[in-house]
Chain A
Amino acid sequence: MSKQTRRNFIKTAAVAGSVIAGLPKKTDAAPKNILSEDRMGVLVDTTVCVGCRKCEWACKTAHNMPTTPLESYDNREVMKKMRRPDHTSLTVVNEYEFDDYPEFPIDVKVQCMHCDHPACVSACIVGAFSKEENGSVIWDSSKCIGCRYCMVACPFQIPSFEFHKAIQPEIKKCDFCFSRTKEGKLPACVEICPMEALTYGRRKDLIDIARRKIELYPDRYINHIYGETEVGGTAWLYLASRKFEDLQFPKLGNSPAPGVTEAIQHGVFAYFLPPIALYALLGGVMWINKNRKKSEEGEE
């Protein structure tokens, strides 16, 4: 938001648009969208998580976001109602109680799933989003124009917007601790988790581990790795002891989410229609204004 204002963007788009419009072939905006064989992921074992919320604290600390002291996270009152990740906390842990086993509520950490085929990357019209080689889906504040298409496109409704900020509001979401992993560190939440309910590793390996767990403990896990195939696969994978719908995971198909958004976008923006229409409109307005000015001058 900071360097690129809406006005500037339109200006550049106008120039670029007029150039591109002359080109015969359709060219994609080119955000980084890498699907590496060795991309990393996290396996979340919800049967192990105890809902201590240390990950929430670690996340905020790692991202220099304001947080109450660590001890305050022992207070479980906040878990009485369902929460969603937002601009104040990029990850939250929700607790689900079930009548058939009240001693053991199930805790589920929620954050960006870092899709293999991210809808946000595809939806972002300025290429502010990118899927990096290590699997992270990150967002560049210097490119964002605040259109919030990403929020609409995301099948998990993860990106949030700092609506309360009048100046330079930002899109906020889990960045898979991109700056930490670049230095060879673990994501903050993975590092702090006392139960290692979060296992960080190559996505391929994680799926093997998850499969083996299901095979070894068929009573403990249902035979489903959430994120293995959902929306074409996600970097974050989940194991659970009961149906994922019961834990408020969205029931999604296996085809990548951008399939839908891209179809819409490419339909709407095909042959550069909107900019041309916009120019026609602006041109019309200018022409009317010019005429009016002339006639005013003439009257004088």
Chain B
Amino acid sequence: MKKIILVLLLTPLILYAQHSKLNLECKTCHSCDIPTKENPCLGECPREELIRINQKPEEAPRIIKIDRIKETNLYGPSIFDHYAHSDMSIMSGDCRICHHYNPPGNIISCSKCHSPQRKRIDISKPDLKAAYHRLCISCHREWSGEIECISCHKPAGMQEDLTLKSINKKSIHPEIKAPIKKVYNTNFTGGKLVTFYHEEHNKIFGFECSDCHKNESCVKCHATNKSALKQSPAILHSKCNKCHDTEDKKSCNLCHSNVEKPVFNHKQRTGFDISKFHSELKCSRCHVTKGKYTGLKKECKNCHGIWTTDNFDHKVTGLILDETHVEFECENCHTEPTYQERSCNNCHDDKSYPQNKPGKVVKR
């Protein structure tokens, strides 16, 4: 009994702790002064401000049979592939595009706000049937023009097919093949072509799909009429201007050119060759300021700190220093901050690199 009382006492505290992260006034959601679990006296759904769901597609059910609405006997329930839809939603606004209201905690069911009955007192929000249909049909209509009931429902009385052919597949959506490069043909007179290396942004610059494809509608890929999707320069620029300055008139030709541009070359652009040791690294490992990639000094200690004989194993360079040389400070041989130069002159008058080596060459 004591335990129960303790739990009861703590529940509001726990809830408060979750809610407090939201930076909201209690009155935003509750109409009374002391809301209880039994009577939360919730007001109108405040929608977007309150969405707190971060579930992975795998955490939700694979297939959902939507059969709560039975008022008309025209069509059977709809078998909804939740996985496929949630998997794709990452590119277009996440879970919230459907679960548009959810306080912290579990997913609340649609029928909590949307009445299963059409004849009801509060008509300010659509009933459950309409809430479902508005979500489904709006998208499906836009990308395939399909609004027929039978595209989702079997006629009433017919056995529905629960064994979706694709049920064993990870996703019914075919694997998305990201392009290696895309060449945009623009109207900009100073350079019509913009060569966009998609793979580079993805693999080297380390962007996740959803970093750029955030509020994509399904139509982006599924439209029957692609020309309708032609975007304005402002929209196209908005995808790039998080990192590239699209306002600065002087920097237009960084992307715009009359010929296709080659892949980004760090040495050519900045003078610092990264092909030898840093080619596998994501840019953000060194360029830590978020958003814009600012230049760094051409010094190793930008990232590595100051190397000493203790914290640097010279073997990684392909040369094991011999007993004599292993004791020296780095600067004795490498006289400049990129460690590119190898000089023997500090000690030797008659020796020079690479004819003479201060140790054994090994395969890197």
Contacts and interface: CB of A to CB of B under 8 A. Distances in A.
A190 B126 CA distance: 12
A104 B142 CA distance: 6
B134 A48 contact: yes
Interface residues of B, number: 25
B166 to A, nearest CB: 25
B124 A196 contact: no
B124 A209 contact: yes
Contacts of A206: 123
Interface in B114-160: 118-119, 123-124, 126-127, 129-130, 133-134, 137-138, 141-143, 147-150
A206 B142 CA distance: 28
A240 interface: no
B252 interface: no
Contact of A50 (B129, B137, B228): B137
Interface in A50-99: 50-52, 70-71, 74
A212 B141 CA distance: 26
A93 to B, nearest CB: 12
Interface stretch (A113-121, A159-167, A197-205): A197-205
B119 A186 contact: yes
A236 B143 CA distance: 31
A186 to B, nearest CB: 6
15 contacts: A50-B141, A50-B147, A52-B147, A74-B148, A102-B228, A103-B225, A103-B228, A191-B118, A193-B130, A194-B130, A195-B133, A195-B137, A200-B123, A201-B123, A212-B124
B126 A103 contact: no
A126 interface: no
A194 B119 contact: no
Nearest to B217: A103
Nearest to B137: A50
Contacts of B119: 184-186, 200
Contacts of B123: 199-201, 205-206, 209
Contacts of B130: 48, 193-196
A288 to B, nearest CB: 65
Interface residues of A, number: 28
Contact of B118 (A48, A71, A196): A196
A177 interface: no
Q: Which 6 A-B pairs have the closest CB atoms?
A: A196-B130, A201-B123, A196-B126, A74-B148, A194-B133, A50-B147
B72 interface: yes
Interface of A: 48, 50-52, 70-71, 74, 101-104, 184-186, 190-196, 199-201, 205-206, 209, 212
Contacts of A191: 72, 118
For B123, B127, B129, the residue with the greatest tally of chain A CB atoms inside 10 Å of its CB is B123
A209 B148 CA distance: 29
Nearest to B124: A209
A196 B127 contact: yes
B158 to A, nearest CB: 13
Given A103-B219, A196-B130, A201-B123, A70 B74 contact: yes
B63 interface: no
B142 A103 contact: yes
Contacts of A201: 123
Contacts of A70: 74
Interface in B67-91: 72, 74
Contacts of A192: 72
A194 B138 CA distance: 12
A102 B141 CA distance: 12
